[in-house]
Amino acid sequence: MAEFNLNILGCGSALPTTRHLPTCQIIDLRDKLYMIDCGEGTQLQMRRMRIRFNRLNHIFISHLHGDHCFGLPGLLSTLGLLGRTGAITIHAAKEIKNYMDPILAVFCKGLPFEVKFNLINPHQHNLIMEDRSVNVYSIPLKHRIAACGFLFEEKPREAHIIRDMVDFYKVPVKKLKDIKQGDDFVTEDGEVIPNSRLTTPATPPKRYAYCSDTAFNPDMIPIIENVDLLYHEATFGEDEALRAKETFHSTAAQAAEIALRAKAKRLVIGHYSARYENISVLKEEADKIFPDTILALEGMVIPL
């Protein structure tokens, strides 16, 4: 079971190339899958990467540009062909209904599962989804249309039981859950055994921030501060800084500057413009500001 892995299915920008696919990522957290954006080719990439369709229950769409959502109709249709019965929830701005309702009515009639929509405000930082494993928050971005990123905050885990100590004090099985959650143990003789003697601290929860597409936007820094992993678009290099500004995108150097100011532990860049046949130049520019930047590539799996 994956503890917390990021799968890169596509990391190109709007113009399709043979080098990169449109944007899509899947978070694999405690054996649950959460999709972020769904560009064309998503379901084929899921096949190539051996990602199980039936574990996917939530899809987060950052904004309504085609390279981030044109894969949705095909994916939903395939889920129907595979016999899915459980509901799937799409988290996106209200405009998603204008796009998806006609498609569902014409091409996805009779799906054996319900498609739910959680309509979010991309201009606000809010908690938009919560389950037993994770809280997901919106991150307002700065793009040509309303767009938001997503912050995935893993929920705290339980402490680890020290098996030898539990056996030594003859702790009943029914008490283990309470001890994992911090309780002390009282023996039959009334002796209080401190929790610290029975457990080791839980693995610290991880945080992942996804920020694509956006112009340079320091306003996001308080939201993503100290994240374990930051994905930030780097559509252009410094040679196209003016183009980046005009199209509300970022350069690799600007992505690195955000990571540096936010004190992110690691940075992944992606959403490469089709003009860059060699994306190593983007890594070189980012490395000067934020060393050891990771270049996103299709098929990459990054453990948190």
Q: Are 169 and 254 in contact (CB under 8 A)?
A: no
Q: What is the mean pLDDT of residues 11-20?
A: 86
Q: What is the mean pLDDT of residues 219-224?
A: 96
Identify the pLDDT of residue 107.
74
Please determine, for residue 224, whether its predicted confidence score (pLDDT) is greater than 60.
yes
Kindly state the helix (H) or strand (E) to which residue 84 belongs, with its residue range.
none
Identify the pLDDT of residue 16.
80
Please determine, for residue 20, whether its predicted confidence score (pLDDT) is greater than 70.
yes
Identify the pLDDT of residue 214.
95
pLDDT band per the 50, 70, 90 thresholds, residue 21: very high
Among all chains, which residue has been given the structure tokens 């009282």? 186
3-state secondary structure at position 165: helix
Identify the pLDDT of residue 14.
82
Task: For residue range 138-147, list pLDDT tens digits in order.
Answer: 999 999 999 9
Identify the pLDDT of residue 103.
85
pLDDT band per the 50, 70, 90 thresholds, residue 123: very high
Nearest residue to 206 (alpha-carbon basis) of 159, 162, 264, 258:
264
Identify the pLDDT of residue 41.
92
pLDDT band per the 50, 70, 90 thresholds, residue 166: low
Please determine, for residue 108, whether its predicted confidence score (pLDDT) is greater than 80.
no
Identify the pLDDT of residue 178.
67
Question: pTM for this structure?
Answer: 0.88
Q: Does domain 4-157+203-303 have CATH number 3.40.50.150?
A: no
Identify the residue with better confidence: 180 or 225. Answer: 225
Identify the pLDDT of residue 179.
66
Rounded Cα distance, 251 and 231, in Å: 13
3-state secondary structure at position 111: coil
Residue spans per domain, the chain: 4-157+203-303, 160-200
Please determine, for residue 160, whether its predicted confidence score (pLDDT) is greater than 90.
no
Please determine, for residue 1, whether its predicted confidence score (pLDDT) is greater than 60.
no
The end-to-end CA distance of the chain, in Å, is 14
Comparing 40-49, 151-160, 259-268, the range with the smallest average pLDDT is 151-160
Nearest residue to 62 (alpha-carbon basis) of 87, 25, 27:
25
Residues with catalytic function: 67
Nearest residue to 39 (alpha-carbon basis) of 6, 5, 62:
62
Identify the residue with better confidence: 213 or 167. Answer: 213
Identify the residue with better confidence: 62 or 173. Answer: 62
Identify the pLDDT of residue 191.
73
Please determine, for residue 172, whether its predicted confidence score (pLDDT) is greater than 90.
no
Task: For residue range 245-298, list pLDDT tens digits in order.
Answer: 999 999 999 999 999 999 999 999 999 999 988 999 999 999 999 998 999 999
- Indicate the average pLDDT of the chain: 89
Identify the pLDDT of residue 9.
97
Kindly state the helix (H) or strand (E) to which residue 31 belongs, with its residue range.
none
CA angle 244, 246, 248 (to 5 degrees): 65
pLDDT band per the 50, 70, 90 thresholds, residue 206: very high
3-state secondary structure at position 35: strand
